[in-house]
Amino acid sequence: MAGRTVRVQGFPAELPPDRAADKLTIHFLRSRNGGGDIANVRVLPGSLPCALITFEAPEVAQRILKVKNHVLAIGKTQYPLEVTPHAAELSPNEVLRG
């Protein structure tokens, strides 16, 4: 899945993982955000939660990475998202927390 997956951080930790996945899916499906068809969204909870979003096509992931300011709106609050490449799938035992 290398090349199709991005790592997203910056959404609120208090958001339940299933709701975070729904909000991120909606954001990254929108063409105005550079998005496209999504194969999988996996939310890794924690004090600094992150999500791994895998797109159907690698060019969608590349477009997402080129967009400079991703902002997730939840209600009236805006959350700036940090979107970075995710090179490989990691098993839960390989994920390091800071």
Annotated domain spans of the chain: 5-77
| Residue 67 neighbours by CB under 8 Å, 6+ apart | 33, 34, 83
Q: Is the pLDDT of residue 84 over 50?
A: yes
Q: Is the pLDDT of residue 97 over 70?
A: no
CATH classification of 5-77 is 1.10.540.10, yes or no?
Answer: no
Q: Is the pLDDT of residue 98 over 80?
A: no
Q: CB neighbours (10 Å) of residue 14?
A: 8
Q: Is the pLDDT of residue 67 over 60?
A: yes
